[in-house]
Amino acid sequence: MNPTHRYRQFFDTLLSYGILLFAGVLYAVALKYFVLPSRVVLTGTEGISAALSYYFDSDMLFIVLYLAFQVVLLGFAFAKVSKTFAIRSLVVVLMVTLMLTVLPPLEFASPEPQNERIILVIFGGLLAGWAKAMAFRYRGSTGDEDVLGAYFAVKYLKPVGSIAIIAAVVSTSFGLILDQIKNGSFESVINTLMYTCIYIFISAETLNNFYRKFKLCIVTIITRNAQIVGKAIKTASEHRTFTVQQGVGGHTGETFSMVRTIVTHEELHAMLDAIQEADSKCFYYHYDIEGISRSYYVPPIK
């Protein structure tokens, strides 16, 4: 291997792990200072851990349960997703655990409903979603439902944030039952449910908007050089093909070709650059699509 290439590869790997560590710090900040103080029920096993920590008034219980559940889920990631994904997720999880333990207690806002609880929930959801997206973009995760999200997103071609909403059903139900047992107040349960729904929606949408590997779009190119554009599509992404449809301009009466391909949002920028380079005079447009056949190939997270 060329020494320059080896050094660059080493630097890229080092940068990736640095960003994964930062994602862990960011997620821990979101949990410790915004999400847990607002006492919303998180998704998946984190939600179960949070609900039990609220019930027993123990922050340390959340950390212990969080780490224990992640050991099991990362074992699943190692077996079903990839070794690299599991290792990088472990790095993030260990950083989250460390930061939750050592970060000093601070109060940015009072979590009571009549004060700034809604601000805690919204900002915590934004930070958490951003941290999750950052980890995914560098082939890791914050653990928990993100591990299942990585597995089922490839299998069913759904955005990873959608899995969080499904995982939230069980954990939220569990948390609300414990809330009712502890407080004996139906109003408290409904209040917790409302804020929990806001957090889940914001974090999931933030994740989906910043991590677009499983969001798909159709690109249509109007050109007189269909084969050159088609070759550019294949060069930009070896897994993509294209269709060509002949057309006639309504104003000029001249013939042209409409070249169509389906790509992920992650591939879109490079694809458009390649198309523009192949035919600078072409006209193109793209739009999002849903409901694609499962035979469509999306590279797994490795």
Q: Please state, in angstroms and rounded to a whole number, the distance separating the CA atoms of residues 267 and 212.
A: 9
Is the pLDDT at 263 greater than 60, yes or no? yes
Q: CA nearest 273: which of 224, 226, 219? A: 219
pLDDT digits (tens, 9 = 90+) for 100-134: 999 998 776 666 655 578 888 999 999 999 999 99
Is the pLDDT at 144 greater than 80, yes or no? yes
> What's the pLDDT score for residue 186?
84
Which domains can be identified in the chain, with CATH numbers? Answer: 3-210 (no CATH), 216-289 (3.30.70.120)
Q: At residue 281, what is the residue type?
A: K
As given in the structure block, the two tokens for residue 200 are 């889940």
pLDDT digits (tens, 9 = 90+) for 277-299: 999 999 999 999 988 887 788 77
Name the packing angle between helices 59-80 and 83-102 (round to 10°): 170
Q: Please state, in angstroms and rounded to a whole number, the distance separating the CA atoms of residues 138 and 155.
A: 20
Q: CA nearest 111: which of 32, 190, 25? A: 32
Contacts with 49 (C-beta within 8 Å, 6 or more apart), sequence order: 42, 61, 62, 65, 66, 69
Length of the chain equals 302
Which parts of 82-149 are beta strand (E)? none
pTM: 0.82
